[in-house]
Structure 1
Amino acid sequence: MNRPGDSQKPPPNTQQDEQPVKVIPPSYRTLYLILYNSVSALLWSVVLGYVLSIATVHGYRGVYTGTGQWTKWTQTLAGLEVLHAAIGLVRAPLLTTIMQVASRFLLVWGVVANFPVTSSASPAYSTMLLAWSITEVIRYTYFAVNLAYGYVPSGLTWLRYNAFFALYPLGISSECWLLWLAVTPAKSWNQAYEWVIKLVLFVYIPGSYILFTHMMAQRRKVMRGLGKKKAV
């Protein structure tokens, strides 16, 4: 699942400064977040390139072999976002961040890595990575640009809050299908693990609805503001 409502902006400074406004150089915290988001956008763009090129030439069955390891470690880097939220480096709810990162970890480490047959049994692994990588390239680029320049071009803002209409259903349905494909091999491997996967599948039903409706609310707010700027 994705993180539609998180923010990579540092928490606001609560101290009031009555002095005239001055141009303040970016803090080390801001520089770190710009670097983190820029590197993450680059890594996910590599995943996107791998998926498109491998699937075009060799078909979806070759995608995991060609990009599985890169994707695992690219997604593992996102575990830092739990730390960012925990120490207050960004304004993001800790529990939600943990749940969303954990679901990605389950898929790349607990499902596909343990049961590679799930990646070759259907195109779901390829379509999941396609949805993830496009989403993350847009998301991380949005945050990096916003942190670096203090604003985001309207085109990138539009992508950030409209691309999910296609990408979220594609990604979520692909994730659910991979989990379903993993049920049978998980049963022969460890029956407790089978029930964990079934439980996660059950949680996806309300979780996906909450995620999508939250993103819709965020979209209405942002697009309303974008419309006002154009009207000025």
Structure 2
Amino acid sequence: MIRTVVNTASLLGWSWIAFHTIQAILADNPAGEDLLQVVLIAQVVCASETLQIAFGILRGDLALSFVVQYTRLMMYFITFPHTSVSSDVVKTILLAWSLTEMARFPMVLFPKSKNLRTIRYAVPLITFPMGAGTEAYAAYLVFLTTENMLLKAALGLIVLVNVVGGTVWYPGMVKKVTRSLKGEKKKAK
């Protein structure tokens, strides 16, 4: 019951984020403080899922979840407020995140729906390159301006994982959509 409430609230939160991000894009306004505060709340809920996966409460790919949450938190706290990262870059990342989560949470709420599963796998075919590419670009912009070697390493890791990892992971994402459209289940390893 609690998970259903949290997942429903997350879906509503990410929908609100998408709506307000699109409004900001259309009005050519920066992402406002209220929008960024809701993003932080929604992102903390998503990050808590990584801990739940680690403790066996939720099923999921722990390594992938960690990488996604690490990257998102670095974007939020390091790149979004940085002067070398434009408002358009921030809004593009927020749009990618929110559309991805809007496709994911309905499947989480209704896991037996084959249509929702297909949508959940299909949407990232667009939002993943958009988000990962823009995250890599934002990390690179900050990488160029920072003197802090630890921060340079953390940002360089994001660029590397998003560009190289994204290229490696994308064909598998396409296979998931294809299997889902055909109604096939993943083969056991």
TM range, normalised to the smaller chain? 0.7 to 0.9
Tell me the SS of whatever aligns to 1:89.
coil
Question: 2:113 matched to 1:152?
Answer: yes
Normalising by structure 1, report the TM-score. Answer: 0.71
- Between the aligned partners of 2:58 and 2:152, the Cα distance in structure 1 is 35
- Between the aligned partners of 1:107 and 1:167, the Cα distance in structure 2 is 16
The one of 123, 139, 143 aligned to 2:104 = 139
- Between the aligned partners of 2:78 and 2:160, the Cα distance in structure 1 is 17
Q: Percent identity?
A: 21
- Between the aligned partners of 2:95 and 2:180, the Cα distance in structure 1 is 25
Unaligned runs of 5+ in 2: 185-189
- Between the aligned partners of 2:66 and 2:105, the Cα distance in structure 1 is 18
- Between the aligned partners of 1:165 and 1:207, the Cα distance in structure 2 is 14
Runs ≥4 in structure 1, deviation > 6 angstroms? Answer: none
Q: Deviations over 1:172-230 (max 9, x none)?
A: 1111111122123323xx2431232123212222211233222222222211117xxxx
- Between the aligned partners of 1:161 and 1:93, the Cα distance in structure 2 is 15
Which gives a bigger RCO, structure 1 or 2 (Cα 8 Å, sep 6+)? 1
- Between the aligned partners of 1:137 and 1:125, the Cα distance in structure 2 is 18
Q: Deviations over 1:93-115 (max 9, x none)?
A: 323322221111111122213x1
Q: Which has the higher helix share?
A: 2
Unaligned runs of 5+ in 1: 1-30, 227-232
- Between the aligned partners of 1:174 and 1:36, the Cα distance in structure 2 is 28
Give the counterpart letter for 1:193 in structure 2. L
- Between the aligned partners of 2:144 and 2:100, the Cα distance in structure 1 is 30
**Aligned counterparts, 1:173-184, within 5 A:** 173-184=133-144
- Between the aligned partners of 1:54 and 1:111, the Cα distance in structure 2 is 19
Tell me the SS of whatever aligns to 1:118.
coil
Q: How many equivalent residue pairs? A: 184
Tell me the SS of whatever aligns to 1:161.
helix
